[in-house]
């Protein structure tokens, strides 16, 4: 998605590898993959990034992932 206008995003994870399978908006338009250099450039910029959320996986709980979005925390077991 290199243009604005998307209202929702769906992140599909591969259960076996715990890696993203696809990231699309509500119209099934794929997200735009970026390089580490682009991320570094934004980190170094004056405005940087704002925290939105994170997906965590722990070896001690191999069937579950933890999604942290703002102050809400979710456990998603696959």
Can you give the residue ranges of every domain in the chain?
1-33
Q: What is the pLDDT of residue 38?
A: 94
Contact 51, 68 (CB under 8 A): no
Q: What is the pLDDT of residue 74?
A: 92
C-alpha to C-alpha distances, 18 to 4, 5, 46, 67, 68, nearest whole angstrom: 28, 29, 33, 13, 16
Cut 0.75: pTM above it: no
pLDDT < 50: residue spans in the chain: none
* Pairwise CA distance, residues 76 & 21, whole Å: 16
Q: What is the pLDDT of residue 34?
A: 92
**For residue 67, what are the β-bridge partners?**
55, 74
Q: Per the structure block, which two tokens stand in for 28?
A: 């099934």
């Amino acid at each position: 998605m290199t243009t604005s206008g998307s209202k929702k995003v769906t992140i599909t994870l591969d259960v076996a590898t715990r890696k993203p399978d696809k990231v699309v908006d509500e119209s099934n338009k794929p997200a735009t993959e970026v390089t580490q250099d682009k991320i570094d450039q934004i980190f170094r910029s004056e405005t940087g990034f704002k925290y939105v959320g994170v997906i965590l996986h722990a070896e001690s709980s191999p069937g579950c992932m933890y999604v942290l979005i703002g102050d809400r925390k979710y456990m998603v077991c696959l």
